[in-house]
Amino acid sequence: MSVLRAAARPVAAAILMLVLAACAGGPQFSQMQDRLPAASPDNGRIFVYRSTVLGAALQPSVKINGDVVGSAVPQGFFYIDRPAGDYEISTATEVTRTLSLRLDPGQTRYVRLGVSMGFFVGHVYPELVDDAAGLAEIKDCHYTGK
Amino acid sequence: MRRIVLGAMLLLGGCAFDVIHVQQVPASLEQISGPAPEWTLSQDVTVHLREGFAVPLKAGTTWRAIGRIAQGDVFRTGDQVVTVEASNVYEAALVTKGDFVVGFYLIVEHTFTAADPQIEIKRVIRSP
């Protein structure tokens, strides 16, 4: 029993290290919110964030209309400016999950990346959230954009 | 035994990949002429669909007509996010006929999905 207990500490520490290493490390949204450049008037802005560390090793690419625009990094966020129009945001692990939304000129949308159980690996899925909820959840996330 | 294992695999696979599709029919949105009707929802409502998650609509949200489809009048609000969600998520607008919610218009897909059952709403008319 004591052998198991002795082994548990380094294993737990290793897991914690892995989780921390998998998390985003850039500046927090709350620190850079005021310094973010404004989107041009014809464009809208989409913030994509993942507030949970659940399934931290799982970090699929995030695509918008088929183009990779970022990754689903735990506690990370990035944003994309796009002309007003219709967009499909997708993530893929063992399945592809999509979110379709309309972006109006000057509009800001918040897309949360949730994590759910899968068959072999977990699923990361994009969901559209209200501005208030998005702003509250993204503030502690770290910037992962380029 | 092999059949049982295969059946279990298919069942588990079905759960994991949760291939739940929202039933959609094509819908053509016609613009409305004149001022857009507008109303405010008086009480919380939850709209159920045949497939996928129920859609909550919040009291106090104001809805403005954006057009009409064969199934009814189409309204959007800036006061809450409205999505229809099963395996995938679709931004949606509300479709009403009189005082009943009959379903949702999927904005990007240009399709309609029906509420099941249709549900009566209480609202305050703001304009015409």
Interface predicted TM-score of the whole assembly (ipTM), two decimals: 0.84
The pLDDT, as a whole number, for residue B33 is: 86
Mean pLDDT of B91-101: 97
Tell me, rounded to whole angstroms, the distance of Cα A134 from its chain centroid: 12
β B45-47/B55-57 pair status: antiparallel
Look at residue A55 in the predicted model and tell me its pLDDT: 80
Measured at the alpha carbon of residue A81, what is the angle toward residues A78 and A86, in degrees to the nearest 5? 110
Q: Which two tokens stand for residue A2?
A: 């004591």
The strand pair at A96-103 and B89-97 is best described as parallel
pTM: 0.85
Q: pLDDT per residue over A45-97, tens digit each?
A: 999 999 988 888 889 999 999 999 999 999 999 999 999 999 999 999 989 99
Alpha carbon B16 to its chain centroid, in Å, reads: 24
Q: How far is B70 from chain A (nearest CA, A)?
A: 22
3-state secondary structure of B70: coil
pLDDT of res. B116: 96
Contacts of A103 (CB under 8 A, 6+ apart): A44, A46, A82, A83, A84, A85, A86, A87, A109
Window 60-89 of A, Cβ < 8 Å to B: 86-88
pLDDT in the model for residue A56: 84
Q: CA of B91, closest CA in chain A: separation in Å?
A: 5
Which residues contact residue A59 at a Cβ distance below 8 angstroms, ignoring those fewer than 6 apart? A22, A71, A72, A73, A74
Average pLDDT estimate for A123-137 = 96
Q: How confident is the prediction for chain A on average, in pLDDT?
A: 87
Give the list of residues 6+ apart from residue B47 with CB closer than 8 angstroms, or none: B54, B55, B56, B57, B101, B104, B115, B119
Asked whether residue B72 carries a pLDDT value surpassing 80, the answer given is yes
Write the CA distances from A127 to A4, A53, A111, B89, B105, integer angstroms: 41, 17, 5, 7, 18
The answer to whether the CB atoms of A94 and B107 lie below 8 A apart is no
What tokens were used for B60?
């106090």
Asked if A95 reaches chain B (Cβ–Cβ under 8 Å), the answer is: yes
The C-alpha atoms of residue B25 and residue B112 are separated, in whole angstroms, by 5
Mind listing the pLDDT tens digit for each residue in B48-65?
999 899 999 999 999 999
Give the CATH number for residue A40.
2.60.40
Which chain A positions have a beta carbon within 8 Å of B107's beta carbon?
Answer: 86, 100-102
Contacting A with CB below 8 Å, chain B residues are 12-13, 15-17, 80-81, 83, 85, 87-91, 106-109
Mutate to test the interface with A, among B89, B104, B110 (most CBs of A within 10 A): B89
Residue A101, amino acid: L
**In the numeric block, which tokens belong to residue B84?**
């229809």
Question: Total structural domains in chain A?
Answer: 1
Q: Give me the domain span that covers residue A79.
A: 2-143
Specify the higher pLDDT residue, A138 or A118: A138
Cα separation, A140 vs A96, in Å, equals: 27
CA distance B10 to B95: 37
The larger pLDDT score, comparing residue A12 to residue B99, is at B99
Residues of B in contact with A101 (CB under 8 A): 91, 107-108
Amino acid at A130: D
- Residue B10 has a pLDDT of 47
Q: Are A123 and A115 in contact (CB under 8 A)?
A: yes
Interatomic CA distance for residues A127 and A47, integer angstroms:
11
Average pLDDT over residues B103-118: 98
Cβ–Cβ of B17/A125 closer than 8 Å? no
Mean pLDDT of B15-38: 85
pLDDT band at B84 (very low <50, low <70, confident <90, very high): very high
What pLDDT is attached to residue B128? 76
